[in-house]
């Protein structure tokens, strides 16, 4: 009589297959991670060292965000600021991640005491940082900061703020987005002087072309 070989229970077989599979996956990654994932995410070099001008923002762009504008919301016309409660106010705004400090004041960039570390702790820098997150640098046509107030191919809970891309306020924002600081230089780069006429970050007029 031939003796049958008893097969291991199905649960034991599955456990064996899983152990073999995990061992194989460990070999693919070249490390201890059984899924072969890299130890960290590394951004491409092209995404490093590009920033917009803080000086131009505080003198030219921030006033647009703090000035009352005529708003057309589904045919209802009112007047309000971007930084108002219910819009983009830092504490009470309902305008998504874009938040503004209504009491932000212009910082003196000629004062040696206003180092980058000091400026980064100001309300104006909070506005700058939030606004820069709404843009694609060097591409105003794809930037929410420009497209939302124009209702250009995107919804905006605040309604229509500017009637056309020729509005002087839009031109200021587009200029800011299109003129980043030189590669490798931060938002406080002295190159920002070239964005004003004369080239003075505190007294010069805001360039738009």
- Domain range list for the chain: 51-206
- Which residues on neighbouring strands pair with residue 206, listed in sequence order? 196
Q: Is pLDDT of 106 > 90?
A: yes
User: Whose CA is closest to 147, among 121, 173, 124?
Assistant: 173
Q: CA-to-CA distance for 162 and 168, rounded, in angstroms?
A: 9
> How high is the pLDDT of residue 131?
95
Whether residue 4 is predicted with pLDDT greater than 90 in this model: the reply is no
**pLDDT reported for residue 194:** 98
- The Cα 173–Cα 150 span in angstroms is 12
Compute the distance between CA of residue 141 and CA of residue 80 in angstroms, rounded to an integer: 24
pLDDT of residue 48: 43
Q: Which residues, in sequence order, are bridge partners of residue 73? A: 76
The predicted pLDDT at position 6 comes to 53
The number of residues in the chain equals 209
By mean pLDDT, which of 48-52, 118-122, 186-190 is the weakest?
A: 48-52
pTM: 0.74
Q: pLDDT band at 99, cuts 50/70/90?
A: confident
pLDDT tens digit string along 37-95?
333 433 333 334 589 999 999 999 999 999 988 888 888 898 888 877 667 877 666 66
Q: Higher confidence at residue 205 or residue 25?
A: 205
User: Would you state the structure tokens that stand for residue 188, as one six-digit string?
Assistant: 């406080």
For residues 21 and 14, what is the distance between their CA atoms, to the nearest angstrom? 11
Digit-coded pLDDT (tens) for 128-144: 999 999 999 999 999 99
């Amino acid at each position: 009589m031939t003796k049958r070989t008893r097969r291991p229970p199905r649960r034991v077989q599955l456990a064996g297959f899983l152990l073999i599979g995990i061992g194989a996956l460990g070999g693919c990654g070249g490390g201890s991670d059984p899924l072969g994932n890299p130890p960290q995410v590394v951004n491409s070099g092209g995404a490093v060292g590009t920033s917009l001008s803080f000086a131009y923002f505080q003198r030219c762009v921030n006033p647009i965000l703090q000035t009352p504008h005529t708003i057309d919301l589904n045919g209802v016309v009112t007047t309000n600021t971007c930084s108002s409660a219910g819009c983009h106010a830092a504490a009470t705004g309902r305008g998504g991640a874009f938040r503004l400090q209504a009491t932000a004041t212009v910082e003196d960039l000629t004062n040696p005491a206003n180092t980058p570390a000091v400026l980064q702790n100001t309300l104006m820098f909070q506005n700058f940082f939030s606004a820069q997150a709404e843009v694609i640098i060097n591409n105003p046509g794809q930037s929410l900061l420009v497209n939302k107030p124009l209702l250009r191919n995107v919804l905006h809970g605040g309604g229509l703020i500017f009637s056309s891309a020729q509005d002087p306020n839009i031109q200021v924002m587009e200029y800011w987005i299109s003129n980043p600081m030189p590669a490798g230089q931060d938002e406080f780069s002295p190159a920002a002087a070239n964005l004003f006429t004369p080239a003075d970050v505190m007294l010069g007029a805001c360039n738009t072309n």
